[in-house]
Amino acid sequence: MRDKVLLVDDEPEVLKSFEALFRRRYDICLASGGEEALQHIRQDGPFAVVIADMKMPLMDGVAFLNHAAQIAPDSVRVMLTGTADLQTAVEAVNKGQIFRFLTKPCPMDVMRQTLSAAVEQYRLVTAERVLLEQTLQGSVDVLVEALSLTTPAAFQRTHRIQRIVRHLAAAEPQDTRWEMEMAAALSQAGCLTVPEDLLQKSLNGLLLTPAEQGILRRHPLAGSRLIAHIPRLERVSRIIAHQNERAKTLQEMQVDETTRRGALILGVALAFDALIFRGVNRQSALSRLTDDPETYDAAVVARLDGVPLPTTSGAAQRIHVNNLQNGMLLAENIRSTNGLLVAPSGFEVNDTVRSRLQNFAEQQQIPEIVRVYAAPGQVC
């Protein structure tokens, strides 16, 4: 598949010439103005390279490339202008995050070299993102699965929190979302330091003693320390450390903006999930969070309105552990014959949980029949 290149210029002859010269090597897309080009980025992307003329009507090249950087930050941006004005170049580089700045008329060999270098840069950027999204994310998923088996009462929340954070972070810059979503996945890591009965007590909304409250308040710091030394997760670690900070406090703290936004989003997700898990309906939960803007960021809370919640179909049903399907929700705590919590009520069945329950049942340490809620479309 050929790399895609978008050229934006209000001169038809420039567009035709560019397409004729480079269409055999690249998949060329042309636009005569900024708005048209932004539509192409949204609908026809991703583009490896975006080239824009500086002086265009309605939206100049700097404004366009600034918008393009927000929509598709991985695309490499090049500025093309007929005036070699230093101030124009500085503005373009600072506002549009420009890879190269070329003057018109641009010699064909210079343009060819620029396109080659820009495409190579795009491949490096996207390769790093794939590494983060697939390799690092896969490693974190394995860690979360392992921790969920060790402390199931805490990690029953993980999938729900991830779902909520993914929704809330959709409005954040694309290049920071992965850190917020990863922080959600690891937000309960510090619960390894908390006694199981205290976790159950907290999840059920029971009254805690001051000492118990202190133990729970410390778990984010414990989780943060656990992953602080993993390469590329330094900021994820900071988000986790501040997940229980009040919105007002976060606004006054000396932290980078991604850490601040991530902690605000994670804090709202955790509070909303806790209310829903305890049986509070969506509207009442939203009202409680909205009424406390010093603790929960109002703009983030407003995004909760359309967040998807786990759904069940009908009443709880009895099913053999060998027939469990991914997406089902456990309708009861499942404990072994010696009292060990194997999987808590509300836990979403996945491959790991299903294998765990089947192995325990095979050893006759739990009943073979369990109660579950079926996800939409599932038949017990």
pLDDT in tens, 175-222: 788 899 999 999 998 988 888 788 878 877 788 999 999 999 999 999
- pLDDT of 310 strictly over 90: no
pLDDT over 80 at 324, yes or no: yes
Q: Is residue 6 within 8 Å of residue 49, measured between CB atoms?
A: yes
Residue ranges of domains in the chain, CATH in brackets: 4-125 (3.40.50.2300), 151-309 (1.10.3210.10), 311-380 (3.90.105)
Cβ atoms within 10 Å, residue 103: 15
Share of the chain above pLDDT 90, in %: 51
Confidence of residue 377 (pLDDT cuts 50, 70, 90): low
If pLDDT is split at 50, 70 and 90, which confidence band does 286 have?
very high
80-102 per-position pLDDT tens digit: 887 656 666 666 665 557 898 88
311 three-state secondary structure = coil
Whole-model pTM: value is 0.64
DSSP string, 7-58: EE-S-HHHHHHHHHHHTTTSEEEEESSHHHHHHHHHHH---SEEEEES--SS
Q: How far is CA 11 from CA 7, 31, 53, 56, 380, in A?
A: 11, 10, 9, 9, 64
